[in-house]
Structure formats: structure tokens, C-alpha cells
Structure 1
Amino acid sequence: MKVAIYCRLSEEDKNKQLETDDSESIQNQKSMLIQYAMDRQWNIYNIYSDDDYTGSDRNRPAFNQLLDDAKNHKFDIVLCKTQSRFTRELELVEKYIHTLFPLWRIRFVSVVDNADTEVKGNKKARQINGLINEWYLEDMSENIKSVLTNKRKNGAHIGSFALYGYQKDPNQKGHLIIDEDAAKVVREVFTLFSQGYGKTAIARILNDRGIPNPTEHKRLKNLRYKQPKTQNSTLWKYFAISDMLTNEIYIGNMVQGKYGSISYKTKENKPIPKEQWIKVKGTHSPIIDRELWDNVQELVREKAKPFIIGTIGIFAKKARCMYCDYVMRSTKSHDRYYLKCETKHVAKDACIGAFIPVEELENAVISELRKIITEYLDKDELEQQVSFNNNLSEKREKLKVEIATFEKKASEYAKGIKDLYLDKVKGIISESEFLQFSKEFYTEKERLEKVAMEAKEKQEAIDRKMQSADNRRQIIEEYIDITKLNREMTVKLIDFIYVGRRNPETKQIPIEIHWNF
């Protein structure tokens, strides 16, 4: 019988010297489960390990790899210390332990709480365990939420990152102290805006002087910061200035609770209405004095453009600059709407700047869509399928080879771990030597499993694209007589659009449309 061992630890382990190391708890789980398997003469197929993950996290890399391997019946048994190490969600207990595992002919065993799908009458105990674990998750989530809400109401700063201009007080948890280097920049931004400078102009002034933006400032000072997703991360941008000018933390008020979790089962957040934000006055030293703050807020209100609720640009967050990959901003001049890249205006030589009238982009999209529809409907169905799938099939085959290579190497390391353990049992190597060698094997094996899983995700994405070919005719025929775009259409049809700058000779603007079909 081939057995897959699964281990998990949710809490940060102080015994770990490096993040890449296994915690002591994980090592203990592995040793116990390996011994349990050896005593029953089960062959260890693989050891799957998730360190620093909760039992409600469905994105655990080793957990998902185990499920994928179980589906392909690469082993016969899943072995855990307890059922809660596998999952704390009753939904997943029912889905996998009670439904899919039996279909896949996989036996589930947990040592401490005696869960075993091969034992008759054991199912109710497993369901009770699952229900208790589910209650535990919900209660823990509510308790944590309650504690954090109480701390916020008391004015304590709750968050991984301090706002630019401040840093966390090393002597008082939940308290902010002024970062004077950044605070000087904050004061200058408020002053410049009060003197009539626009937000883009202020960003350009800071960039021309080589002042690092908030993320780069924190990185240079070895402070915690959120990794940006876009390019040119060292530049000040319009939105950074805009957000700064209306943040009450700069006048000493702690404003938190702007976002809340959708459910304890997901990490996704949703915006909270402004009237429900938690605001506590005078929790820390202000950077901006009240008079300057009031002047700036008045100017912000005066410059704010009227906004009709329910309206949004048809290309909002869809149009990107071809040269710097930033989302283009909407602007209006003489009753005409345009899309432009702000990067050009915030720093010298940062970007040549994409620019296009919204009407021109709309006509280009409609024209390209009509062309696709005409070509598609003129083709034979089989020809369409072959044309669409040919390139994707090549990519899929390449990924398939890569996955097989990674999995073979990972399997070799798993066998090496098993051989090491047998050598330790036989006294050929010592306990310390086993831990030293096996740690290196585990690290490399888990790295290979991770890259294999990433390749599988790419393969699955290709599969979805290939399967979507069946729905292309229905999608395209829906827009056969299109004359005007609206927001709903662009969301459904377009992933994103790259826009360039008009060629002075041809007068054409380069446009690259990435469709959703």
C-alpha cells in the first residue's frame, strides 16, 4: 500500500531560524507519521508539508498537490496526525474524505483522533470532528474580529504597514511615531496643493528631485511595505498624492476598518461604507496642522468633478499604456473624452505617454470585432477549431513534458528521504545526520512540487481556453450587429487593451486588443 503523508502547522514557529526551514512541530509530525507507516509496512509515496497555513486555507500548495495526486491515484492512503491537520472545514471533509476519496479508492487515516474511512461506524465520529473544527474556525474568526475591532476603537494601529510619514513605535505596540524624513515630504505635498499646484504637477516635482515614493522610501529604510504589482514602482503617481491629501491619519486621527472580510472561509475583502469606518481622534502626533488641513480639504471639494452614481467609463481599467503598462486615466477637453497615460507627466523620460480619444478607441474596437466576426463566420467550423487550438496544443504538450520532469525529480527526492529513514533505523546514519540530509531533500522536493503545480495551473488555463472554443460562436453572434459599445460589453468581451501614441507620419495610433474569447 502506498501512503501519502500530510503535515500542517498554522502558527509561526519560534524555533525556525530561516523561513525555508521546517518548524520543529512539522518535523515531529513527519517523524511520528513515518514511524506509523513503517510499522504497518506501508510504502511512503510522498510527504506533503504546509508550514504556516491555517486549516481553512484552500490555497495550501502541498494540500492541493496531494489532492491532485489523489485524483490520479498515485497512492492508496492519506495519513495525517489529526483530521484537522487535513482540513477544519466540514464542507471539505464531506467533499474529499467522505465522497471523492472513496470514489478514487483512497483511504483516509488520522492517527490521534482515530479517523479511518476503512473502519465501519467511524463516519459519524469524523463528521462530528469536522463539525467541531468548523465551529472552531467560525468562533476563532469572530473572536479575532472582535479583538481587532476593540483595539481599533481604542485607537491602536492594526495593520502590517504604517502609513507613509509614520512608522511603528518599537516601544509601544499599536502606536505610530513620525518618520521625519517622510513627514517633510508629506508637509510639502499639502503646502504645494494649498498653493495651487495640481496632483500630477506635485508628483512631477517630487520625481524630478529624485524623492523616492512611499514604497521605495520604506524599502530603503528597511521598513515593512506592500510589494507593488506595477512597473516604475519608484515613481510618485497621481493617486498617491490624491490619497495622501484626504487621509485624516496625517492630522493625528486613526481611521481604520475601511475593508472587511467577506467570510472567515476566504481572504477576500469588501469595502465598508464610510459611515462605518472606525475613527479615533488624537491617537498620535499630527504631521499636518489643522489650518493647512482645512484649507486643503476645501480645495479638494472645489476641484472635485461632479459624478453621476452608476456611470463609469466604458474602458475603465481596460486601457493600458503600451509603453509602461499603467492603466490610462480619463480626461475631458472641449466636451470630448480622452484616455491618457499619466506616467509621462509625473517624471522626465518615464514614458513617452499613450493618448487616444475614447471615441476613436471605441470605433477601433468595433471595427476589429466586426472583422473577427466576419472571418469567424466565413470559416468552416473544423477549420476554426484547428486554428484556435493548434498553438495552444503545442504549449500544452510542452508543459506536460515539464510537469513529468519535475514530478519525476520530486519522486526521486521522496525515495531518497525514505531511504535515509531506513538507514537511520538500521543505524547506518545518526538522527542528526538524518535530519540534516532529509531537510535538504525536503526543501528541493517541495521546490520541484511547487514549480510542477505552477505548470499544472498554466496547463489548466490552456485547457479552459481550448474548451471555450465551443462557446465562441454564441458569443460572437450575439454582437454581430454591434454599432455602439457599453460598459457591460467591454467587461464581457475585453481582457485589456494596449494603447500607444499616434505615429506622426501614418497618423495611426497602435492598438493591441486582448479579447476574453
Structure 2
Amino acid sequence: ALVYNSEMLFPEYGVHFIAVNDGVDSVRGDSEFTAIRNVFNEMYAKDTSKKIRATWQSKGRSGEHLTTIPPYGYKKDPENKKRWIVDEEAAAVVQKIFALCMDGMGPTQIAKWLQENKVLSPVAYCYENDLPTTSKRPTDPYKWATKTVVHILERLDYLGHTVNFKTSKQSFKSKKVLWNDPADWVIFENTQEPIIEESVFLIVQKIRQGRRRPTKMGDMGMFSGLLFCADCGGKMYLCRANHFKPEQEYYLCSTYRKDRTLCSTHSIRRVVLEEIVLRNLREAIQYVTQYEDDFVQRAADQSLRERDKELAQKKDTLAQSQKRIAELDVIIKRLYEDNISGKLSDERFIKLSRDYELEQTNLTNLVEHLRQEVKEQEKQKVNVRQFIAAVRKYTDMQQLDASILREFVDKIYISEVYTPDENEPRIKVREIEIVYNFIGAFDFEEAREQSQAAQKEKKTGVA
């Protein structure tokens, strides 16, 4: 680059180039050693870059923070500059942002709420409190950018962890910052006091993965992104109008709404669903509070059985798909041989080979997807303690809101069945399956009956 600049670019644009230390003056002409000197200078810069990179690697892998400025919500400990402590005022804002997300608000809505409530933006807060920052002072101190809220909601540092090597550069010449794959991040857990509980952080990430836009009426439904049709797997949409009363609002299968021949309505009124879910959560809290040890054992056993069953099905599908891919290789080879020998016309060969190759491509994609799912599922473990921690927050649940719902519930499935009695008129009923965070689907009513029976049997045996 230096050779190109001094010998081609500078003369072309009439630049008078002088290097005092090296005795170079472009007007008098370049020395024959200039090109060699430029090469050595570049080698020196590259070597220096390697040494600096090695120092940063050593520092980052030892658990030290690589960033010189702590994230919003933390500040440096005056007694130990390498240690972060919680900035109470900013941490309260971070917790509020997570709480608003739990309530169903998106990043844009949260940014608007913060601005309306006159909350200083992170940069403005730094200037107001004499904290270090690399950004310029904003003209509007209360203006929050949506990307700032997104960055806060996704930041692992708020769990009390140190996260290093999130970014990198292509070379010492490039100024462009590249984001590394999360698998390449180096994470040191519990290096500072957490601002956000792990259960809350995980729930927010799930909300972000299934994020939805607000309705035309300007709000986000409580069950938005949580409700699914048990038969087709489609999302359930909230149907309402300005003239509807609250008890008239209902959820409908999205597949049915698009094409009535593909699925049935699966409709359920919103107030009925809220009442059922609230009653179920109360049963869960009551059971876990009374029979915590039984719950831990039952949840762990049930999760293990369900996971093993689902895992076995996926592995079987994976094996069958791989076998079919191998068969297709043989079929395509035979088609080619038949075409060469004249047994199969060119037109027929092109059509058949295209169909088989398309099937093989689809199967290859399916195999890759199944491998990833199997790998992830083998890592998953039931986290009963996280669920118990959530239960202990709500000993007396009077009403349901979006925050409570998302803290407990992962998904809700609505199925449509008919009464089995042939002597009576067929009645369409709804079956509701609630999949909880951390433990999956769990029948608390049945578990309570079994625990009560076991307790009664134990007392009878003692007597």
C-alpha cells in the first residue's frame, strides 16, 4: 500500500510527499531504497499487530474485561479498575427495559416509553454523571434509539458474566469491526453482580425470537406469540373490533383464516382462555408450594421420558433420510448409465434426474436441520429450580398479565375434539395444553392427586 501511494497515487494527484526521517522528497525523485524501506515498514506494522493481538488474546482468555468502558448499568470500581460494580440508577433503567419487554412491548415501543418518561439515554447519562463514553453529546438527551434497546435486551453481561471476543477485525489494515459467531465467544460466568435474573433473561430471548408487531388498535395481545393450533401448528390470531365487548374477543387458527379447507376454526374466547390459564397457574403454584420434593422428581422424570421419545423419533427420521439419500445416488447413477446406453431418452433422463436431484436436495437440507436439532436437544436439561424460583414470587396470584404469563408459559396449544358418546349429540370442545418454561408440559392436577394419594397411603402404613 505504501509503495502504491508513494510511486503511483501521490504523483497522479500532484501530492508533494516528504518523509523527513527517511530523507524522501518526491520532487527530487524517490530513492531506490524507498520501495524496500516501505516493505520493511509494513512488515514491522504487521509484526506489531500480531504482538498486540496476542496480548489481547492472553488478557481475554484470563477472564479480564476487554472493553475499556463498562456497559450501561455498570461502572468501574474506584478501588479496582478491572472490576465492574452495579450503577444503581442505570441498572434500574435496564431492569425496567426487561420488564417492559416481558409485558409485551417491543424495542420501538420501549424506546418511545423511555423518551416520553424523560429517561436519559445511555450517552446523555454518561455526560450527566461524568462517565467515560466515545460518543458525542446528543442534542436530545431523552432520545432513545431502537437499536440501543435491542442491544441491552440481548447483552449477556447483565447476567453477571464477562463476554470476550464478540468482535474482531479482518486485518491490522482494516477498521471494519466484524461480529464473531456466538460459539466463538469466551464467557466467564459470575464475574460481577448480575442486574437481570437468568430466568427473566431467557424468557426475554424467547419473546424476541417470536416477536410480533402491535395490532392496528395499537397494543400487543397478552397471548401474542404464545398461542398455537394443536392440529396444524399455525399461530392463533386475536379477532376483535371496535364494537366488540371484551367477552366477545376470540382467538382463531391462522391457517383456517387463510384457507378454510386446510384446518378448522379452533376458536376460543379470550376471557375463557385467560380464566383457564389463570386457574392452571394457581394449581401449579399450590402444588409446587405443598409438594416441592415430589414436583422436582416428577418433572425431571417426565422431561427425561418425553425428551428421549422425541429424540428417538428424530434420530429414526434422520437415519431414514440418510438411507434415502444414498439410494438416490444409486438411482441417479443408473439413470445416467441407461441414458448413455440408449435405454432412456434424453428428455426422460432430464425429467427423472431433475426430480430425484430435487428430492435429494430437500432431504440433505432436512438431514442438516435434524442433526442440529438432535445436537441441541441432547444438550437440553430440565431446569426445575428455575420454575420453582418463579413460583415463589407469586404466592397469591389474583390476576393474569403479560409479564406473569411469559415468566411461566412457553407455548399454549388449542385442539378441537368432539365428545365421544355416540348416544348423545356430538359437541365440539376445546382441549388446552400448556407448555411451561423450564419444565415443558405438566399436568399439575393429576400430580397433586397422586401426591395426595401417596401421602395418604404413607400415613395409613405408619398407623
The TM-score range, normalised by the shorter chain, is: 0.3 to 0.5
Larger radius of gyration: 2
* TM value normalised by structure 1: 0.36
